[in-house]
Amino acid sequence: MINYQGTSLYRGIPIDFVDRSNWVAVVGARKADREELNAAYQLAYKIASTGRVVVSGLALGIDTVAHQAAVDAKGKTIAIVNTPSSQPIYPKQNRILAQDIQTCGGIIFPYSSKAVEAEKKGISHFSKRLIERDLLLAHLCPTIVTVKTGNTTITGGTKWSFNEGAKVGKKLFLYDTQGTFHSSPSYEERKIHWNMEMNINQIIKNLEELSFCS
């Protein structure tokens, strides 16, 4: 594991965090159907096979098959999670996959304290971190792709990456199950309504400094 000022920020093989021009985020629904999962796998496999880095959030569904495809292609993949390195990987179904990811890429742990799952009102601390994780992904990757059956409005957790990606000028695509890319797809607009726990700019700076230590 690589440490930054005593904080376990990244675990995996050495990665160039400064030049991220070949990073591609592949994200999507946790409850994707079989056609969407197959399309996401084929897309991520092709991306990884061409030397680009597949980035996702290690969630179930699209994220899982995107990471797995990159591993199978013997390419590079990076997962961004909402838990610290001292806490078990979430979700538990992806803990073996997380180990595989670290052999051909790595896992970014933006937080150093434990994520709390329960909250009486509103969005839980755990869920807020999942959303903030999506925003960090949007800042790190110049290209963001989601996979859906048709060119329909992007909703669910995926919308957060697209909202932030549009805000900071990233290339946004929807890849449908027929193999067609749709640029600048429509997405449900949302804004963060809490004081973010994560300092995105600081996290990116810390990661970039790790490149000189790897």
Q: What is the pLDDT of residues 146-157, one digit of tens each?
A: 999 999 999 999
Q: What pLDDT, on the 0 to 100 scale, is given for residue 156?
A: 93
Residue 74, both tokens: 């013997």
Q: What is the pTM of this model?
A: 0.93
Residue 159 has a pLDDT of 97
Percent of the chain whose pLDDT exceeds 70 = 93
Across the strands, what pairs with 54? 24, 77
pLDDT band of 121, cuts 50, 70, 90: low
Closest Cα to residue 84, out of 196, 4, 15, 165? 4
H-only helix segments in the chain: 34-49, 62-72, 95-104, 125-140, 158-167, 200-210
* Portion of the chain with pLDDT greater than 90, in percent: 86
- Confidence class of residue 11 from pLDDT cuts 50, 70 and 90? very high
What is the gyration radius of the CA atoms in the chain, in angstroms?
16
User: In this structure, are residues 133 and 89 in contact, taking their beta carbons and an 8 Å threshold?
Assistant: no
Taking only the tens place, the pLDDT of each residue in 158-183 is 999 999 999 999 999 999 999 999 99
By C-alpha distance, which of 151, 174, 175, 143 is closest to 39?
175
Q: CA 181 to CA 82: how far, in whole Å?
A: 29
Q: Which of 104, 82, 78 is nearest to 91 (CA)?
A: 82
Q: Is the pLDDT of residue 2 over 60?
A: no
